[in-house]
């Protein structure tokens, strides 16, 4: 749920900043870019820190090699994508790349839900709820990629 909150709060604060006169954030499209960047910064940090990292490594489907490396690589990609979202010239490509990354990582969420894993001591998001969240996140990335 924290990624959704980060997306909503980041977008809302950026939109308010735009309404307050920061021209670079004037409009929903730039605000969505900031919100998605905040969300991916938050999720990327989890790829490198303590219990969350261990939980993410456990989420990697068992048939995939080097889950620790896969978690680190996806964390780096999320950080690079978050920075790319904040640069208008690269925002569309970054959003498209992040959308594809989310689709590629979704099987790990399915696997984790089916195996009833925990993440930082809490059960992973149930599959139905995670699927809805994934649709929201991918749709946000698509809106940035294909929007105005």
- Per-residue model confidence (pLDDT) at position 147: 84
Which range of residues forms the domain containing residue 50? 2-146
Rg (CA), the chain: 15
d(CA 31, CA 101): 21
36-86 residue pLDDT tens? 999 999 999 999 988 889 999 999 998 999 999 999 999 999 999 999 999
- Overall domain count for the chain: 1
73-129 residue pLDDT tens? 999 999 999 999 999 999 999 999 999 999 999 999 999 999 988 888 889 999 999
Q: Which helix (H) or strand (E) holds 122?
A: strand 122-123
């Amino acid at each position: 749920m924290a990624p959704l909150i980060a997306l909503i709060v980041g977008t809302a604060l950026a939109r308010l900043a735009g309404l307050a006169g920061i021209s670079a954030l004037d409009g929903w499209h730039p605000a969505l870019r900031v919100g998605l960047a905040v969300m991916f910064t938050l999720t990327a940090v989890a790829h490198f820190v303590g219990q969350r990292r261990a939980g993410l490594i456990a989420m990697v489907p068992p048939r995939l090699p080097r889950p620790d490396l896969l978690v680190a690589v996806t964390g780096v990609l999320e950080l690079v994508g978050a920075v790319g979202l904040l640069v208008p010239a690269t925002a569309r490509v970054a959003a498209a790349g992040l959308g594809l990354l989310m689709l590629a990582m979704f099987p790990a969420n399915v696997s984790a839900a089916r195996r009833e894993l925990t993440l930082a001591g809490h059960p992973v998001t149930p599959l139905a709820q995670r699927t809805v969240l994934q649709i929201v996140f991918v749709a946000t990335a698509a809106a940035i990629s294909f929007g105005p």
